């Protein structure tokens, strides 16, 4: 006799009786739990010593135990009595997601095996793979199979050494057609044990197809790119903060020093964050004393203050620094920009940052190679400000022009057409002058700013090449940063900057004033 039969008393009962029995069972569970709660609460009341906090903790512990027992009972009941066979993994993952989602925190989440693997890539900073940055369309059709496209090979990796180029298609991996599998499955096949081979079938252009056997190696997650702009400005782009970031930043600073740089641009746009220990080490290269960031929590162990040390500061103290930020700059990138701003070391240019002022821990569960990411503290800038859901405003706002409704339709039309791709394919090795000339031709048909048209053409030209690190034609925020460093008095600008705490206080007073005005009206 199964579990439901035990509840209903006999197999032949009617559906109504069965439903009644199930409801009765759940009510009995609930009533029993309530009765136990009352009994234990009474005991707690009888032994009460006057310490209300102890009683509160006892009640909380009681509820926790009751909820845990109820979840276990419901899990077992659903698994045994659902109309179809149930995979316990599905129930487990659903329950874990539910627990995390109940907190209403977008950064506290359950991580399945693929998400956990991706998270480990960032926290560890490397993995066994072939060194190809790839993309894959989400929808595959017979007319347009969703093969894997190489965005770019990472220098000095197996893919790069094999001559694989940006724009090449991976048609198959160890004989498996890539159009028929998901991106997670693609990654699972390309990554693996270091020293082990993986065979890929490649396509370049219309007709060239070839096989390549790649021996997996340790691949470092790309974290820093750098280059001189002219002979005076070092341009440092930090993609995200991994364990390798501080070392790569130091390599950049050493390279700039050899080139005789006079000022620095740190580009944190679209940097989603990363490890707090990593960003603290990077900040310490610019800040020689005081607090870099502090964390606060109800847990005493999570209350920490990270301070700068003069011995680890490597950048010149009086070096003019501009930091580029936008709405994609979050978490650790906000820690760096906030610390440099509060310490009056850098001038911020661009857009208001994302506003993620919390710290998470990744905890592996070691059951299905899964885990959880849990918010354990909030972080505060040196001026003791938390920027969660608020972000950090730039000292100078520079926004990319917003397309009108008509321009959006035009942009979408040309973006979805193959006009530019066909032209570029017919005109290989286009120069900047060629791109500008073609943009003027397109302008006659498409009413868009020539700067936007040039960017669309450049994207297609460099789809099969390594893109330049920066684009002074299109990137107006970068151009603004360069102009500040070359044409304005940096010292005068920094005298006028305010700490994040001062800015938040001003915003608070302004909001209060506006609220009073609205009430009067």
Residue extents of the structural domains in the chain: 3-48+56-86, 126-220, 224-397, 405-478
Instruction: Map residue 303 onto helix, strand or coil.
Output: coil
Whether residue 460 is predicted with pLDDT greater than 70 in this model: the reply is: yes
Task: Of 185, 214, 178, give the one whose Cα is nearest residue 199.
Answer: 214
Whether residue 32 is predicted with pLDDT greater than 50 in this model: the reply is: no
Residues 6+ apart with CB under 8 A from 349: 322, 323, 324, 325, 394, 395, 396, 398, 477, 480, 481, 484
Please write the tens of the pLDDT for every residue from 267-277: 999 999 999 99
What is the structure's pLDDT at 23? 37
Name which residue leads in pLDDT, 402 or 265: 265
Cα–Cα separations (whole angstroms), residue 334 to 207, 281, 337, 368: 47, 14, 5, 33
Whether residue 26 is predicted with pLDDT greater than 80 in this model: the reply is: no
The verdict on whether 254 is a catalytic residue reads: no
Whether residue 1 is predicted with pLDDT greater than 50 in this model: the reply is: no
Q: Over the range 115-134, which residues count as b (16 or more CB within 10 Å of their CB) and which as e?
A: ebbebbbbeebbbebbbbeb
Task: Of 466, 444, 467, 465, give the one whose Cα is nearest residue 455.
Answer: 467
Rounded average pLDDT over 429-437: 93
Strands 233-238 vs 263-267: parallel, antiparallel or unpaired: parallel
What is the structure's pLDDT at 52? 63
What distance in Å separates the CA atoms of residue 203 and residue 168, rounded to the nearest whole number?
6
Cα–Cα separations (whole angstroms), residue 265 to 72, 170, 341: 55, 37, 14
Rounded average pLDDT over 149-153: 85
508 Rama class: left (phi>0) / alpha (psi -120 to 50) / beta: alpha
State both tokens at 480. Answer: 């603004």
Say if CB 352 and CB 393 are below 8 A apart. yes
Q: How confident is the model at residue 79 (pLDDT cuts 50, 70, 90)?
A: very high
Say if CB 194 and CB 188 are below 8 A apart. no
Whether residue 101 is predicted with pLDDT greater than 90 in this model: the reply is: yes
What is the structure's pLDDT at 243? 93
Rounded average pLDDT over 278-297: 97
Whether residue 359 is predicted with pLDDT greater than 60 in this model: the reply is: yes
Rounded average pLDDT over 328-344: 97
Residue 197 β-bridge partners: 215
Whether residue 377 is predicted with pLDDT greater than 60 in this model: the reply is: yes
The verdict on whether 383 is a catalytic residue reads: no
263, 331, 333, 358: which one is catalytic? 331
Local structure of residue 418 (DSSP, 8 states): S
What is the structure's pLDDT at 478? 98
Strands 263-267 vs 321-325: parallel, antiparallel or unpaired: parallel
CATH number, span 126-220: 2.30.42.10
Rounded average pLDDT over 34-48: 47
Whether residue 126 is predicted with pLDDT greater than 90 in this model: the reply is: no
Q: How confident is the model at residue 351 (pLDDT cuts 50, 70, 90)?
A: very high
Say if CB 406 and CB 366 are below 8 A apart. no
What is the structure's pLDDT at 2? 38
Residues 6+ apart with CB under 8 A from 77: 3
What is the structure's pLDDT at 479? 98
Q: How confident is the model at residue 3 (pLDDT cuts 50, 70, 90)?
A: very low
What is the structure's pLDDT at 513? 86
What is the structure's pLDDT at 29? 40
Burial class (CB in 10 A: 0-12, 13-18, 19+), 321: buried
Task: Of 7, 2, 3, 5, give the one whose Cα is nearest residue 27.
Answer: 7
Is 0.85 topped by the overall pTM?
Answer: no
Element (H, E) at 225: strand 224-229
Count helices and strands in the chain by DSSP H and E runs: 17, 19
Rounded average pLDDT over 202-223: 89
Say if CB 500 and CB 357 are below 8 A apart. no
Mean of pLDDT over the chain: 87
The verdict on whether 331 is a catalytic residue reads: yes
Whether residue 12 is predicted with pLDDT greater than 90 in this model: the reply is: no
Q: How confident is the model at residue 118 (pLDDT cuts 50, 70, 90)?
A: confident
Whether residue 115 is predicted with pLDDT greater than 80 in this model: the reply is: yes
How many Cα neighbours within 13 Å face the side chain of 396? 21
342, 370, 395, 475: which one is catalytic? 342
What is the structure's pLDDT at 30? 42
Length of the chain: 521
Cα–Cα separations (whole angstroms), residue 256 to 265, 312, 321: 11, 18, 13
Please write the tens of the pLDDT for every residue from 54-63: 668 889 999 9
CATH number, span 224-397: 3.90.226.10
Which of 18-27, 88-97, 208-217, 223-232 shows the lowest per-residue confidence on average (mean pLDDT)? Answer: 18-27
Whether residue 42 is predicted with pLDDT greater than 60 in this model: the reply is: no
What is the structure's pLDDT at 16? 38
Rounded average pLDDT over 340-363: 96
Task: Of 114, 226, 194, 201, give the one whose Cα is nearest residue 150.
Answer: 201
Q: Do domains 126-220 and 224-397 have the same CATH topology?
A: no
Element (H, E) at 39: helix 15-46
Say if CB 288 and CB 340 are below 8 A apart. no
Whether residue 103 is predicted with pLDDT greater than 90 in this model: the reply is: yes
What is the structure's pLDDT at 19? 37
Task: Of 193, 134, 127, give the one whose Cα is nearest residue 164.
Answer: 134
Whether residue 11 is predicted with pLDDT greater than 80 in this model: the reply is: no
Say if CB 114 and CB 136 are below 8 A apart. no
Q: Over the range 77-114, which residues count as b (16 or more CB within 10 Å of their CB) and which as e?
A: bebeeeeeeeeeeebbbeebeeebeeeeeebbbbbbeb
Rounded average pLDDT over 28-37: 42
Name which residue leads in pLDDT, 156 or 172: 172
Say if CB 425 and CB 440 are below 8 A apart. no
What distance in Å separates the CA atoms of residue 298 and residue 303, rounded to the nearest whole number?
8
Residue 179 dihedral angles phi and psi, to the nearest 5°: -70, -20
What distance in Å separates the CA atoms of residue 186 and residue 359, rounded to the nearest whole number?
31
What distance in Å separates the CA atoms of residue 339 and residue 286, rounded to the nearest whole number?
10
Q: How confident is the model at residue 514 (pLDDT cuts 50, 70, 90)?
A: confident
Whether residue 446 is predicted with pLDDT greater than 50 in this model: the reply is: yes
Task: Of 68, 70, 92, give the one whose Cα is nearest residue 79.
Answer: 92
Element (H, E) at 4: helix 3-8
Whether residue 326 is predicted with pLDDT greater than 50 in this model: the reply is: yes
């Amino acid at each position: 006799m199964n579990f439901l039969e035990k509840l209903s008393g006999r197999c032949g009962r009617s559906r109504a009786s069965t439903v009644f029995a199930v409801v009765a069972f759940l009510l009995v569970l609930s009533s029993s739990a309530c009765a136990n709660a009352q009994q234990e609460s009474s005991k707690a009341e009888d032994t009460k010593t006057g310490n209300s906090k102890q009683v509160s903790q006892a009640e909380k512990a009681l509820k926790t135990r009751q909820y845990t027992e109820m979840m276990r009972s419901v899990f077992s009941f659903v698994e045994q009595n659902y109309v179809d066979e149930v995979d316990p993994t599905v129930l487990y993952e659903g329950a874990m997601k539910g627990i995390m989602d109940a907190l209403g925190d977008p950064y506290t989440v359950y991580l399945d095996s693929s998400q956990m693997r991706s998270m480990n890539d960032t926290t560890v900073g490397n993995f066994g793979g072939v060194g190809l940055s790839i993309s894959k369309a989400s929808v595959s059709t017979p007319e347009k199979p969703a093969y894997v496209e190489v965005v770019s090979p990472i220098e000095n990796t197996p893919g790069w050494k094999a001559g694989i180029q940006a724009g090449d298609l991976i048609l198959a991996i160890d004989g498996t057609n890539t159009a028929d599998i998901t991106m997670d499955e693609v990654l699972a096949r390309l990554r693996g044990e270091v020293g082990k081979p993986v065979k890929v079938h490649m396509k370049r252009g219309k007709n060239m197809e070839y096989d390549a056997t790649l021996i997996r190696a340790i691949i470092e997650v790309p974290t820093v790119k750098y280059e001189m702009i002219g002979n005076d400005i070092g341009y440092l782009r930090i993609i995200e903060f991994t364990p390798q970031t501080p070392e790569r930043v130091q390599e950049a600073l050493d390279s700039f020093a050899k080139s005789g740089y006079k000022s620095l641009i740190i580009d944190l746009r679209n940097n989603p964050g990363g490890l707090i220990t990593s960003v603290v080490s990077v900040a310490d290269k610019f800040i020689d004393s005081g607090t870099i960031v502090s964390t606060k929590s109800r847990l005493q162990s999570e209350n920490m203050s990270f301070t700068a040390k003069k011995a680890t500061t490597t950048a010149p103290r009086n070096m003019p620094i501009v930091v580029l930020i936008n709405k994609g700059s979050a978490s650790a990138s906000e820690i760096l920009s906030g610390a440099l701003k509060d310490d009056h070391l850098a001038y911020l240019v661009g857009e208001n940052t994302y506003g993620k002022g919390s710290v998470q821990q990744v905890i592996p569960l070691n059951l299905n190679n899964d885990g959880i990411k849990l918010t354990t503290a909030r972080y505060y800038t040196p001026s003791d400000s938390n920027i969660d859901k608020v972000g950090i405003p730039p000292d100078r706002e520079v926004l990319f022009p917003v397309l009108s409704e008509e321009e959006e339709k035009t942009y979408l039309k040309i973006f979805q057409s193959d006009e530019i791709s066909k032209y570029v394919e017919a005109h290989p090795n286009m120069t900047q002058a060629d791109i500008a000339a073609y943009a003027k031709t397109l302008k006659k048909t498409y009413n868009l700013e020539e700067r936007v048209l040039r960017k669309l053409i450049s994207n297609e030209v460099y789809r099969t090449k390594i893109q330049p690190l920066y684009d002074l034609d299109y990137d107006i925020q970068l151009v603004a940063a360069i102009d500040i460093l070359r044409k304005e008095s940096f010292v005068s600008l920094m005298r006028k900057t305010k700490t994040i705490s001062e800015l938040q206080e001003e915003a608070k007073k302004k909001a209060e004033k506006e609220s009073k005005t609205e009430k009067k009206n």
